[in-house]
Amino acid sequence: MTRNALVTGSCGLIGSEISMHLARHGYEIFGIDNNERAVFFGPEGDTSWSLQRLRSSIPGYRHYSLDIRDRAGILSLISELRPDVIVHTAAQPSHDRAAAIPFDDFDTNAVGTLNLLEAARLACPESPFVHMSTNKVYGDLPNTIKLRELDTRWDYDDPQFEHGIPETFSIDQSKHSVFGASKVASDVMVQEYGRYFGMPTCCLRGGCLTGPNHSGVELHGFLSYLVRCNVEGREYKVFGYKGKQVRDNIHSEDVANFMLAFLEAPRRGEVYNIGGGKENSCSILEAFAIVQELTGVPQKYTYVDQNRIGDHICYYSDLRKMKLHYPRWSITRPLRDVFREILESWNVRLGRAVPVTAGAD
C-alpha cells in the first residue's frame, strides 16, 4: 500500500529535497506552499521554478497553495488527507527580516506550527512529525564560549565543544533575534506534542542548510547567495567579526536522508542539531577563497563593522547524537562538493557558461 507524505514549504530548499527524496522511496507527495518567500524577499525569493520542478519530477504530485496561518484550512486539509508522515519546513526563515515583520514572523513560525501539530493530533497522531527548526534557538549564548582567533576563522577554545554545539546546550537567557524567538516557540511546542501527547515528533536545529536548489538571497541562504554574488560580480556585504565568523554547511540531500531515517524509526519529542559539523564548517573568508578557486573570479565585498544582532561568531553542530541514534546516517557531501553543485546550479539558472575550475582541491 502506498504511503503518503505531507510536506509544508514544499517549494523551498529542504521541502523540495525531501519531497523528491520521499517520492523516490515510494511515497505519494502532498505539498503545501503559497510562495510566501516571494512576499518576504521579493522577486529573487520566488520559488515558482521549484514548483514546476516538483510537478515535472514527481508523478502524481498534489500541490496546495495554502498558508499555514490559515487554521481552518490546515485543520480541514489534514483531516481529509490523514498523511502517514508530516515534514514541516515552511517558515519565515530570515534572522534579519523578522524584526520588520514581527507579527508575520511569529504567526508563520509559531502559530503556523501549532496549527499543524493540533491538526495532526486530531487526525493522525501516530504519524511521525518532523519540524525544521534552527540553531538560532540557542540565541547568542554560543558567543559566550571561549574562542581563539585564527588567521581566517574563529574557533572554540574550550575542549568541551571540540565537536561543536550539542543538543544539551541552553536555549534560555540569551538574545535570539525576533526570528530566533519565534522558532524557539515552535521548537518547544513540537517537543511538547511529543512529550505531552506521546506523538512521534522531532526538531531539527539546522545550521546552514544549503544545496543547488536554494534560492539564496541576502537575508537568507548564506552560501547560495555568496556563490551567486561571485558568479554575477555582485558585492557581498560582510557584517562584523572580521569575516571570520564560522558556519557548518550541510547539503539538503543529507538533511533529507536524516529525515527519512527518523520517519522510518521515529522517537518522541526528540531534538537534533543538524548541520555539516566541524568537517563542513567554514568562515566567510574561507568561503570566498573556495569560490574564487572554483571560478577564478575574485570575490567583491565590503566590510560593515557591525555584526547582525544575535549573530553567532562561531557555530558548528555536534553530530554525535544523530549518529548514535541513527548510525547508518552520515554526511555524504564534503564542503567543496557542495560549493561545486551550488555554482553549477547558478550557472544554469542564470544562463551562464562560467566553468568550474578543474583541480581546485
Phi, psi of 123 (to 5 degrees): -105, -35
Which of 265, 248, 279 lies closest to 327 in space, CA to CA?
265
All three cell numbers of 73, joined, read 484550512
Average pLDDT over residues 351-358: 58
Domain boundaries, the chain: 4-349
Average pLDDT over residues 189-199: 98
CATH architecture of structural domain 4-349: 3-Layer(aba) Sandwich (3.40)
Residue 356 clears pLDDT 60, i.e. is over it? no
Residue 361 clears pLDDT 60, i.e. is over it? no
Rounded Cα–Cα distance for residues 111 and 109 (Å): 6
Between 256 and 308, whose confidence is greater? 256
Please give the pLDDT value at position 48: 87
CB-facing half-sphere around the CA of 213: CA atoms within 13 A: 22
Please give the pLDDT value at position 54: 96
Residue 154 clears pLDDT 70, i.e. is over it? yes
Average pLDDT over residues 330-356: 87
Q: Where are the beta strands (DSSP E) in 2-72?
A: 4-8, 28-32, 62-64
* Cβ-based neighbours of 140, under 8 Å, separated by 6 or more: 174, 175, 176, 310, 311, 312
Please give the pLDDT value at position 156: 98
Average confidence score pLDDT of the chain: 93
Question: Which segment of 78-82, 239-243, 306-310, 340-344 scores lowest on mean pLDDT?
Answer: 306-310
Please give the pLDDT value at position 353: 60
pLDDT tens digits, residue range 94-141? 878 899 999 999 999 999 999 999 999 999 999 999 999 999 999 999
Average pLDDT over residues 179-190: 97
Average pLDDT over residues 171-190: 96
Q: Residue 218 — pLDDT band, cuts 50, 70, 90?
A: confident
Residue 271 clears pLDDT 60, i.e. is over it? yes
* Cβ-based neighbours of 11, under 8 Å, separated by 6 or more: 31, 33, 35, 37, 47, 48, 50, 51, 54
Residue 194 clears pLDDT 50, i.e. is over it? yes
How far out from the chain centre does Cα 285 lie?
22
Cβ burial 314-352 (10 Å sphere, 16+ → b, else e): bbbbbbebbeebbeebebebebeebbbbbbbbbbeeeee
